[in-house]
Protein backbone atom coordinates (compact mmCIF):
# COMPACT_ATOMS: atom_id res chain seq x y z
CA UNK A 1 0.00 0.00 0.00
CA UNK A 2 2.78 2.40 0.95
CA UNK A 3 4.63 1.53 -2.27
CA UNK A 4 1.48 2.26 -4.33
CA UNK A 5 1.02 5.67 -2.69
CA UNK A 6 4.67 6.55 -3.32
CA UNK A 7 4.41 5.53 -6.97
CA UNK A 8 1.28 7.66 -7.43
CA UNK A 9 2.90 10.63 -5.70
CA UNK A 10 5.97 10.33 -7.91
CA UNK A 11 3.79 10.12 -11.01
CA UNK A 12 1.85 13.24 -10.00
CA UNK A 13 5.07 15.13 -9.32
CA UNK A 14 6.47 14.14 -12.70
CA UNK A 15 3.26 15.21 -14.43
CA UNK A 16 3.38 18.59 -12.70
CA UNK A 17 7.01 19.14 -13.72
CA UNK A 18 6.18 18.23 -17.33
CA UNK A 19 3.17 20.59 -17.40
CA UNK A 20 5.18 23.47 -15.95
CA UNK A 21 8.02 22.92 -18.43
CA UNK A 22 5.56 22.82 -21.32
CA UNK A 23 3.96 26.10 -20.26
CA UNK A 24 7.35 27.75 -19.81
CA UNK A 25 8.41 26.60 -23.25
CA UNK A 26 5.21 27.93 -24.79
CA UNK A 27 5.82 31.37 -23.31
CA UNK A 28 9.47 31.36 -24.33
CA UNK A 29 9.18 30.17 -27.89
CA UNK A 30 5.89 31.70 -28.96
CA UNK A 31 6.61 35.13 -27.49
CA UNK A 32 3.20 35.05 -25.83
CA UNK A 33 2.20 37.74 -23.38
CA UNK A 34 1.53 35.03 -20.83
CA UNK A 35 1.89 34.47 -17.13
CA UNK A 36 1.22 31.15 -15.41
CA UNK A 37 -0.19 31.82 -11.98
CA UNK A 38 -2.85 30.49 -9.68
CA UNK A 39 -3.58 27.54 -11.96
CA UNK A 40 -4.40 29.66 -15.00
CA UNK A 41 -2.55 31.30 -17.87
CA UNK A 42 -3.15 35.07 -17.93
CA UNK A 43 -2.32 37.31 -20.87
CA UNK A 44 -0.52 40.53 -19.97
CA UNK A 45 0.59 43.72 -21.73
CA UNK A 46 4.07 45.20 -21.31
CA UNK A 47 4.23 47.55 -18.32
CA UNK A 48 8.02 47.93 -18.26
CA UNK A 49 11.15 46.18 -19.52
CA UNK A 50 14.04 44.60 -17.62
CA UNK A 51 17.17 46.16 -19.11
CA UNK A 52 20.86 46.24 -18.22
CA UNK A 53 21.12 49.77 -19.63
CA UNK A 54 19.11 52.77 -18.45
CA UNK A 55 16.78 53.17 -21.39
CA UNK A 56 13.23 54.37 -20.70
CA UNK A 57 10.30 55.60 -22.80
CA UNK A 58 7.94 58.57 -22.51
CA UNK A 59 4.53 58.13 -24.13
CA UNK A 60 1.63 60.44 -24.90
CA UNK A 61 -1.98 59.36 -25.42
CA UNK A 62 -3.86 61.44 -27.99
CA UNK A 63 -7.63 61.43 -27.67
CA UNK A 64 -8.86 64.97 -27.04
CA UNK A 65 -7.68 68.27 -28.49
CA UNK A 66 -4.32 69.64 -29.61
CA UNK A 67 -3.99 72.90 -27.68
CA UNK A 68 -0.80 71.87 -25.86
CA UNK A 69 0.67 69.49 -28.43
CA UNK A 70 2.95 72.02 -30.15
CA UNK A 71 4.49 72.99 -26.82
CA UNK A 72 5.11 69.31 -26.03
CA UNK A 73 6.79 68.79 -29.39
CA UNK A 74 8.95 71.87 -28.81
CA UNK A 75 10.03 70.62 -25.36
CA UNK A 76 10.94 67.21 -26.78
CA UNK A 77 12.86 68.77 -29.68
CA UNK A 78 14.81 71.04 -27.34
CA UNK A 79 16.23 67.95 -25.62
CA UNK A 80 16.47 65.89 -28.83
CA UNK A 81 14.10 63.28 -27.37
CA UNK A 82 11.98 60.92 -29.46
CA UNK A 83 8.86 59.49 -27.85
CA UNK A 84 5.78 57.43 -28.69
CA UNK A 85 2.31 58.88 -29.32
CA UNK A 86 -0.73 56.59 -29.09
CA UNK A 87 -3.57 57.98 -31.22
CA UNK A 88 -7.29 57.25 -31.23
CA UNK A 89 -8.73 56.91 -34.73
CA UNK A 90 -11.18 59.80 -34.42
CA UNK A 91 -8.31 62.01 -33.18
CA UNK A 92 -5.99 61.09 -36.05
CA UNK A 93 -8.80 61.67 -38.56
CA UNK A 94 -9.67 65.05 -37.05
CA UNK A 95 -6.06 66.23 -36.83
CA UNK A 96 -4.13 64.62 -39.71
CA UNK A 97 -1.77 67.60 -39.74
CA UNK A 98 -0.66 66.65 -36.22
CA UNK A 99 -0.23 63.01 -37.16
CA UNK A 100 2.09 64.20 -39.93
CA UNK A 101 3.86 66.74 -37.71
CA UNK A 102 4.51 64.18 -34.97
CA UNK A 103 5.76 61.61 -37.47
CA UNK A 104 8.01 64.06 -39.29
CA UNK A 105 9.53 65.15 -35.97
CA UNK A 106 10.86 61.60 -35.62
CA UNK A 107 8.42 60.29 -33.05
CA UNK A 108 6.83 56.86 -33.09
CA UNK A 109 3.07 56.39 -33.43
CA UNK A 110 0.89 53.60 -32.08
CA UNK A 111 -2.86 53.08 -32.00
CA UNK A 112 -5.02 53.89 -28.97
CA UNK A 113 -8.10 52.19 -30.51
CA UNK A 114 -10.77 53.50 -32.88
CA UNK A 115 -13.42 54.69 -30.43
CA UNK A 116 -11.67 54.92 -27.03
CA UNK A 117 -14.09 52.38 -25.55
CA UNK A 118 -13.67 49.76 -22.83
CA UNK A 119 -12.40 47.06 -25.15
CA UNK A 120 -12.58 44.25 -22.59
CA UNK A 121 -16.34 44.38 -23.20
CA UNK A 122 -15.92 43.67 -26.93
CA UNK A 123 -15.79 40.35 -28.74
CA UNK A 124 -12.81 39.30 -30.83
CA UNK A 125 -14.20 40.56 -34.13
CA UNK A 126 -14.93 44.01 -32.72
CA UNK A 127 -11.46 44.24 -31.17
CA UNK A 128 -9.79 43.25 -34.43
CA UNK A 129 -11.90 45.80 -36.33
CA UNK A 130 -10.86 48.60 -33.95
CA UNK A 131 -7.19 47.70 -34.27
CA UNK A 132 -7.28 47.47 -38.06
CA UNK A 133 -9.23 50.65 -38.73
CA UNK A 134 -7.34 52.79 -36.21
CA UNK A 135 -3.92 51.68 -37.44
CA UNK A 136 -5.03 52.17 -41.07
CA UNK A 137 -6.00 55.77 -40.29
CA UNK A 138 -2.49 56.45 -39.00
CA UNK A 139 -0.73 54.55 -41.77
CA UNK A 140 -2.67 56.47 -44.42
CA UNK A 141 -0.90 59.64 -43.23
CA UNK A 142 2.56 58.35 -42.30
CA UNK A 143 2.98 55.44 -44.68
CA UNK A 144 4.50 53.50 -41.78
CA UNK A 145 3.25 50.25 -40.27
CA UNK A 146 1.71 50.49 -36.80
CA UNK A 147 2.51 47.61 -34.42
CA UNK A 148 2.06 49.18 -30.99
CA UNK A 149 -1.29 49.39 -29.20
CA UNK A 150 -2.39 50.93 -25.92
CA UNK A 151 -5.80 49.98 -24.57
CA UNK A 152 -8.08 52.88 -23.59
CA UNK A 153 -8.28 53.42 -19.82
CA UNK A 154 -5.60 50.72 -19.39
CA UNK A 155 -8.53 48.28 -19.55
CA UNK A 156 -7.81 44.79 -20.88
CA UNK A 157 -8.57 41.11 -20.57
CA UNK A 158 -7.08 37.94 -22.06
CA UNK A 159 -9.14 38.20 -25.24
CA UNK A 160 -7.98 41.75 -25.93
CA UNK A 161 -4.29 40.95 -25.43
CA UNK A 162 -4.49 37.71 -27.40
CA UNK A 163 -6.42 39.31 -30.26
CA UNK A 164 -3.99 42.21 -30.45
CA UNK A 165 -1.07 39.79 -30.60
CA UNK A 166 -2.77 37.76 -33.34
CA UNK A 167 -3.23 41.00 -35.29
CA UNK A 168 0.49 41.77 -34.96
CA UNK A 169 0.41 44.32 -32.13
CA UNK A 170 2.40 44.65 -28.91
CA UNK A 171 0.07 45.89 -26.18
CA UNK A 172 1.79 48.58 -24.12
CA UNK A 173 0.80 49.65 -20.61
CA UNK A 174 2.93 51.80 -18.26
CA UNK A 175 4.59 51.64 -14.85
CA UNK A 176 4.86 55.41 -14.25
CA UNK A 177 1.66 57.45 -14.42
CA UNK A 178 2.13 61.24 -14.56
CA UNK A 179 -1.57 61.83 -13.77
CA UNK A 180 -1.26 64.93 -15.95
CA UNK A 181 -4.89 64.51 -17.02
CA UNK A 182 -5.87 65.55 -13.48
CA UNK A 183 -4.43 69.02 -14.19
CA UNK A 184 -1.66 68.61 -11.63
CA UNK A 185 0.89 71.42 -11.52
CA UNK A 186 4.09 71.11 -13.54
CA UNK A 187 6.08 70.51 -10.36
CA UNK A 188 3.67 67.77 -9.25
CA UNK A 189 3.89 66.05 -12.62
CA UNK A 190 7.68 66.24 -12.63
CA UNK A 191 7.87 64.92 -9.08
CA UNK A 192 5.62 61.95 -9.84
CA UNK A 193 7.64 60.97 -12.90
CA UNK A 194 11.15 61.46 -11.58
CA UNK A 195 10.29 59.88 -8.25
CA UNK A 196 9.01 56.62 -9.76
CA UNK A 197 11.11 56.00 -12.88
CA UNK A 198 13.57 53.11 -13.13
CA UNK A 199 15.52 51.48 -15.96
CA UNK A 200 13.03 50.12 -18.49
CA UNK A 201 10.15 52.32 -17.34
CA UNK A 202 7.31 53.36 -19.63
CA UNK A 203 5.92 56.76 -18.63
CA UNK A 204 2.31 57.73 -19.34
CA UNK A 205 1.47 61.32 -20.31
CA UNK A 206 -1.19 62.94 -22.49
CA UNK A 207 -0.79 65.25 -25.47
CA UNK A 208 -3.33 67.71 -24.10
CA UNK A 209 -2.45 67.72 -20.41
CA UNK A 210 -2.80 71.25 -19.07
CA UNK A 211 0.71 71.43 -17.55
CA UNK A 212 2.47 68.55 -19.30
CA UNK A 213 4.52 70.69 -21.65
CA UNK A 214 5.52 72.95 -18.77
CA UNK A 215 6.74 69.94 -16.77
CA UNK A 216 8.72 68.32 -19.59
CA UNK A 217 11.90 70.47 -19.51
CA UNK A 218 12.45 69.64 -15.82
CA UNK A 219 11.53 65.98 -16.34
CA UNK A 220 13.82 65.50 -19.32
CA UNK A 221 16.76 67.36 -17.80
CA UNK A 222 16.47 65.45 -14.52
CA UNK A 223 16.23 62.06 -16.19
CA UNK A 224 19.18 62.78 -18.48
CA UNK A 225 21.26 63.98 -15.53
CA UNK A 226 20.56 60.63 -13.85
CA UNK A 227 21.95 58.82 -16.87
CA UNK A 228 18.68 57.71 -18.47
CA UNK A 229 18.40 57.43 -22.25
CA UNK A 230 14.90 58.19 -23.52
CA UNK A 231 13.84 56.16 -26.57
CA UNK A 232 10.55 55.30 -28.31
CA UNK A 233 8.71 52.27 -26.93
CA UNK A 234 9.49 50.28 -30.07
CA UNK A 235 13.19 50.55 -29.25
CA UNK A 236 12.68 49.71 -25.57
CA UNK A 237 10.66 46.50 -25.70
CA UNK A 238 11.84 42.98 -26.50
CA UNK A 239 10.18 41.61 -29.62
CA UNK A 240 10.89 37.88 -29.24
CA UNK A 241 12.09 35.28 -26.72
CA UNK A 242 10.76 37.02 -23.65
CA UNK A 243 8.63 36.41 -20.59
CA UNK A 244 6.47 38.77 -18.52
CA UNK A 245 6.37 38.59 -14.75
CA UNK A 246 3.42 39.21 -12.44
CA UNK A 247 4.11 42.95 -12.48
CA UNK A 248 4.02 43.12 -16.27
CA UNK A 249 7.80 43.52 -16.50
CA UNK A 250 9.14 42.09 -19.74
CA UNK A 251 12.36 40.04 -19.46
CA UNK A 252 14.59 38.17 -21.88
CA UNK A 253 13.86 34.44 -21.71
CA UNK A 254 16.75 32.53 -20.12
10 phi and psi angles, rounded to 5 deg: -65, -40
> Which residue numbers in the chain have pLDDT < 50?
1-40
Residue 41: the pLDDT is 64
Structural Rg of the chain based on CA atoms: 21
Taken in order of first residue, the domains within the chain and their CATH numbers are 2-43 (no CATH), 48-252 (3.20.20.370)
The pTM score is: 0.85
Burial (CB count <10 Å: 0-12, 13-18, 19+), residue 36: middle
Amino acid sequence: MIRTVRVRAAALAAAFVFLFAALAAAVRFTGAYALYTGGTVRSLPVYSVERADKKIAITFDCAWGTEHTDAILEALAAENVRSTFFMVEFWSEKYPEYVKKIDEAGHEIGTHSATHSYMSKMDGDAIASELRSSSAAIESVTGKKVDLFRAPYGDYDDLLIDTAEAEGFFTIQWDVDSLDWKDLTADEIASRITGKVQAGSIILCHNNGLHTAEALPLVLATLKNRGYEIVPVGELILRENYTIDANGRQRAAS
